[in-house]
Amino acid sequence: MIPIVLALAVAGSTGYPTNLEMAEQVVTESVTSLADSLGDAGIDDVSLEVVGEHAGNWLVEQSARAVLSDHGVSVAADRTGGGMPVLRLRAMDLAVTLGNTGRSWLFGSKHVDRIARCELAAELLDSGGVTQRSWRCGGFAEDRIPYSELTVLQGSSGEEWITGGTPTSSGGGILEPLVVTGVVASLIYLFYSSRAE
Lowest mean pLDDT of 50-54, 86-90, 145-149, 184-188, name the range: 184-188
Determine the Cα–Cα distance for residues 39 and 192; give it in Å rounded to an integer: 68
SS3 at position 197: coil
Q: Could you read off the pLDDT of 100-144 as tens digits, one per residue?
A: 888 766 667 889 999 999 999 999 998 888 999 999 999 999 999
Report the candidate in 58, 25, 32 with the shortest Cα–Cα distance to residue 159.
Answer: 58
pLDDT of residue 105: 66
**Which helix (H) or strand (E) covers residue 15, if one does?**
none
Tell me the β-bridge partners of 49: 88
Q: Are 85 and 127 in contact (CB under 8 A)?
A: yes
- pTM for this model (two decimals): 0.75
Cα 191 to the center of its chain, rounded Å: 48
Give CA–CA dist 34/123, Å, rounded.
10
Average pLDDT in the 3-20 region? Answer: 62
Task: Please check whether residue 81 is in contact with residue 46, taking contact to mean a CB–CB distance below 8 angstroms.
Answer: yes
Angle at 12 between CA 6 and CA 16, to 5 degrees: 105
Question: What are the boundaries of each domain within the chain?
Answer: 4-196
For residues 143 and 73, the answer to whether their CB atoms sit within 8 Å is: no
Burial class (CB in 10 A: 0-12, 13-18, 19+), 187: exposed
* Confidence at 188, pLDDT banded by 50, 70, 90: confident
3-state secondary structure of 45: strand
